Chains A and B, each alone.
Chain A
């Protein structure tokens, strides 16, 4: 044990510097890994929608004269007649974007009492089929339940809604959501007639899965969105043909944009993905430099103590004793660094969860980080330690 401690005493600054590097690297490594794995988990969350085959057309009327209701009818009958269109519906808002409407949904009128901010999607009876979302319980809207609200025929709202499983659970934690009464930003009681599998609606609520479907065709906004699902593999062709047809059919309206749902999903995850990339690159660089630092320190120690090694060899130390000496020495520095690093990592994790609302650091990440960094650090010391073992005992006799 002695040679290691005396070596540390002789070059304390070098050891302290390496320990500091290890500490900072460990703290960043652990927290960055936790953040990246959270981001990956979020990116991989299922959308619940057939994003591969679906696209949306956002259409805006240019003048008061444009009759949205009849345009919607014409567009839908055109789309439903196309052999490559699997399903089509009319809605308002684009799933997985902030484009759409969000409302407080609660069990009491006018937002008194608890409520859940949810995405609201008006659809007709083909809405669920177009999204590719199945019902878990209850039934779909019937054609005669769909109301068309236009300035010419202002009608009271609908009476039925379909909610996602997630929203049903939030509103009725003890079950029995089917047949329950809810209020969607108003005082009209609405009955839940169906519960759909979770899917991502307009991401305006706290959770993208909190979505309520209303049996409505909204025509008063001078904007309407056509949601179209093509047969597998035919999306690009259908999108082109539909754009051409609609551009020619309506003189007083324009297609504002036509996002595919896969691009909407990509856009939604872009920030997370890029943060994950950045964090990974940063952590990898840090880890590499940390191992360079360790390599440098051990190399320096070996070089500046060649004579000491020679003497130890001459008085009987075996090669593997020399290797063990430098590896143990490195392990001591490592231990110090990791002890400080663990404290730093936990403090950083705590600070992040206080300031940025990130969940508290899972200690398993710390354990994994300690093991990984320990392995890398010992590997970095391995080569110079072997070199030390090759020092010949005769070195001791040369320059006395």
Chain B
């Protein structure tokens, strides 16, 4: 029976090749627009470390009293050096990490003639454990290396390929800002999007690539390196010396903690409040106590990682698909009704309503299938067009527009929806053809 339906559908397509093409292209265009926008939207709105959503927290506190005037999201994303080092001293969290960006340069690796700029993240060993960072060779540095600080460096996989040709470089040394550093680890591919742990614009934004190397946080202060990432000072000033910067109310240190239990969370929040209250009583902090712990999901939402524009584009793509589907409904209806005499004859010869319905639905499904295949192809082309439009830019659209199995799933899902929406009513109408009516005029 199925073979017969397929043959009927094929014959019907052959009868009106123009209309068939029009419907296929319509469904295809609609589906491809949805694939392109949904792929990017999905990648932007994901929580890249969802499995730790209930234990990881970003730590914020407002040293300027800015919430007096504005919304809570005006609270700086980072902490001042003083506050960060104080909170880092607490042993309530299971893991904790400080984050900053340092502008480094590498010299002294095999075959290198000129210094190579290297955007380096200054952080603490907890960073790698907390964020489940995968290592290809070696591993994080020790707690002693954080305290020292010891001259140890972790390279990204790409950087290791560039500097050491991709070999296991653990134990090798290189000159980082003219100081000899020992490689203790090489990361495997690791590029969480959005880059939840650092959303600051000065750090490159939510969709920047991860840093290419990692050194212990303390190296920045030790070498008097001015923060190379985001710094926000409210209405205060950074001062003119490095010492003044460390004592200033400028925020440039990101902090994340792993608090596995509700009681740990309560105790850490209490510690933060007590500290902020003390700072206020000495006059260093202004305004209300404004200490917060943010889950990754809250953190991403609060900082509007998903731009309104990308959501709008998804909605418009669906509007296009809707118009194309309505179009298809109209054309199918007209086509099926024109073929009603044939259906009438078949009814008269003993086909049931269900048979007629199923046969027409199969025709619609075949059309949607063709449309979905075309949509997949156009979607892949569209995604590479998006990449081309955003070439050489840090924009999320360019970085995230990669075709993945998700695209296929979207296409299949939308094809099913398209069949149901576009095919059911015309097929049902056709199934209700009374057998006698069309026999008369034959």
Contacts and interface: CB of A to CB of B under 8 A. Distances in A.
Nearest to B237: A186
B20 interface: no
Contacts of A67: none
A293 B233 CA distance: 58
B320 A275 contact: no
B240 to A, nearest CB: 4
Given A155-B240, A289-B26, A297 B316 contact: no
A185 interface: yes
A275 B330 contact: no
A135 interface: no
Interface in B245-282: none
Contact of A220 (B223, B241, B319): B241
A27 B320 CA distance: 11
Contact of B441 (A14, A286, A303, A399): A399
A322 B312 CA distance: 44
Contacts of A270: 389-390, 393, 395
B201 A24 contact: no
A252 B178 contact: yes
Interface stretch (A58-66, A75-83, A308-316, A378-386): A58-66
Interface residues of B, number: 59
A254 interface: yes
Given A63-B178, A111-B234, A111-B235, A286 B323 contact: yes
Nearest to B176: A62
B420 to A, nearest CB: 16
A254 B397 contact: no
Interface string B81-116: 000000000000000000000011100000000110
A13 interface: yes
Contacts, number: 152
B305 to A, nearest CB: 15
B327 interface: yes
A25 B323 CA distance: 7
B322 interface: yes
Contacts of B235: 103-104, 110-111, 115, 185-186
The size class of the interface chain A forms with chain B is 35 or more
Interface string B210-241: 00000000000001111010000111110111
Given A17-B330, A98-B202, A278 B319 contact: no
A223 B202 CA distance: 15
Contacts of B240: 149-151, 154-155, 220
Contacts of A37: none
Contacts of A28: 316, 319-320
22 contacts: A28-B319, A60-B105, A62-B115, A62-B177, A111-B235, A154-B244, A185-B233, A185-B237, A186-B236, A220-B241, A221-B226, A270-B390, A270-B393, A274-B390, A282-B33, A285-B33, A285-B320, A286-B320, A289-B29, A289-B323, A290-B323, A297-B334
Interface of B: 19, 22, 26, 29, 33, 103-105, 114-115, 117, 177-178, 201-202, 223-226, 228, 233-237, 239-242, 244, 308-309, 312-313, 316-317, 319-320, 322-324, 326-327, 329-331, 333-334, 337-338, 386, 389-390, 393, 395, 397, 425, 429, 441
